[in-house]
């Protein structure tokens, strides 16, 4: 697994999510399966907020302890399960229009590539994950891709919920 191949996986996952969202009607994107549950638009905005925050943190990282090999594995396993995590308030969606979220999601791939071209980030910790601790750039991208995949399944659950608009 290389950084380049993982960035391709992330771009593919993001493109799949955008295609799923684009295939929905505005009513379907706005549908919430229950009170307090996220709509598909909310999921998209959360993904944008998460990636944007990570990218900004990577550009100007604090001094971090060295990464621990394999530390990301538990976080990846969690994301591949049906478990739910509490979302930090700064990553909560604000119900911005999908067209705005979509436009910014499309630009994220170029931002990752720009960061990936900086060889000085290759083996040092670039992000302090709340569960896994300091992560390399590769493990950070692995986390973001798994996080997006986790929410791709959330979109599928939303679209099969009772009351989902046809």
Domain borders along the chain are 3-13+45-145
Question: Which of the two residues, 159 and 69, has the higher pLDDT score?
Answer: 159
Tally helices (H) and strands (E) across the chain: 6, 2
Tell me the torsion sign for CA atoms 152, 156, 157, 162: positive
Q: Rounded to two decimals, what is the model's pTM?
A: 0.92
CB 76 within 8 A of CB 142: yes
Instruction: Compute the average pLDDT of residues 4-9.
Output: 94
Which pLDDT value is given to residue 63?
A: 84
Cβ neighbours, 10 Å, residue 31: 19
pLDDT of residue 1 exceeding 90, the answer is no
- Between these two residues, 122 and 24, which has the higher pLDDT value? 24
Of 30 and 116, the one with more pLDDT: 30
């Amino acid at each position: 697994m290389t950084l380049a191949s993982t960035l391709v996986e992330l771009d593919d996952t993001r493109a799949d999510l955008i295609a799923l969202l684009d295939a929905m009607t505005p009513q379907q994107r706005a549908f919430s399966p229950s009170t307090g549950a996220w709509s598909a638009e909310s999921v998209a905005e959360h993904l944008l907020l998460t990636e944007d925050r990570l990218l900004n943190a990577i550009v100007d990282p604090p001094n971090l302890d060295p990464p621990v090999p394999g530390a990301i594995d538990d976080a990846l396993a969690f994301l591949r399960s049906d478990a739910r995590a509490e979302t930090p308030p700064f990553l909560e969606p604000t119900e911005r229009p999908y067209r705005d979220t979509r436009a910014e999601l499309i630009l994220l791939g170029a931002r990752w590539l720009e960061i990936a071209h900086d060889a000085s980030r290759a083996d040092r910790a670039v992000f302090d994950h709340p569960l896994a601790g300091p992560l390399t750039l590769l493990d950070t991208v692995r986390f973001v891709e798994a996080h997006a995949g986790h929410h791709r399944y959330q979109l599928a659950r939303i679209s099969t919920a009772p009351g989902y608009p046809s």
